[in-house]
Amino acid sequence: MEPENITQSDNKPVAIKVRELVAGYDNEIVLNKVTFDVFQGEIFVILGSSGCGKSTLLKHLIGLIDPISGEIEIGGIKITGKDRRNLQKVFRKYGVLFQNSGLLSSMTLAENVALPLQQYTNLTDKYINTLVKMKLSLVNLSGFENHLPSEISGGMRKRAGLARALSLNPSILFFDEPSAGLDPVTSAELDRLIIHLNHTLGTTMVIVTHELPSIFTVAHRVIMLDKRIRGIIADGTPQYLRDHSQNPYVKQFFNREVEPLNL
């Protein structure tokens, strides 16, 4: 089945290129010959029902897993197969906000944000401290530098994790279910912050989520995965796919429709 595709690149540079990606576990194929591009400055959302391969795809994009076959390029650098050795070259090109924020519980917020700077730069402690304050301010956490993750709310932990993901000024940010565990108001605040950072920094963002309110709020473009075909069934803006898709499952997903019960 060919995916519905209304992608308009407007000749933007490609930030991430995926070609004929085959991925799976224990000889079971989860994704089969998946191909797509993410354009520079785009907020790109990967969505689909449970078990469709969203998290598997994200793990491949950030280099945690090497695919069975196919190619992934980050900023023009291949990171798969024999080119996996290039991962070190692209680590500073991207940051990751994990679903549970990924903060180290024994460290303060400032120490968490400082960690990548200490590991991957030769900056002085004074300059690192200045950058840490700037990153926390960017996510509206000024004044919380000395708090432990356990001393702040779940939404604040997400923002602190985002500050750490931004510490090395990446050109690409990956988000794994950023709204997971958040109440609707806090989730909406995080959505606004994502949009603000995209507008002000021009950062390319790749978000894995199934939260429709967030999808319609932040996404410039989405791809929808389907576990039945082990690949992409739709590619376009969420508004277009909701209103014009000819695929019954895509329309069902975006309009929150369910099959009628046979009572």
Q: What does the pLDDT read at residue 38? A: 98
pLDDT of residue 49: 85
Contact (CB, 8 A) for 231 and 225: yes
List b or e across 225-263, with b for residues whose CB sees 16 or more CB atoms inside 10 angstroms: bbeeebbbbbbbbbeebbeebebebbbebbeeeeeeeee
- Positions of the chain with pLDDT lower than 70, given as ranges: 1-10, 258-263
Q: Which pLDDT score, from 0 to 100, does residue 87 have?
A: 87
The residues near 261 (Cβ < 8 Å, ≥ 6 apart) are: none
Q: What is the pTM of this model?
A: 0.90
Report all structural domains of the chain as residue ranges with CATH numbers, in order of start: 4-254 (3.40.50.300)
Closest by Cα among 88, 86, 75 to 37: 75
Predicted pLDDT of residue 117: 95
Quick: pLDDT tens for 112-127: 999 999 999 999 999 9
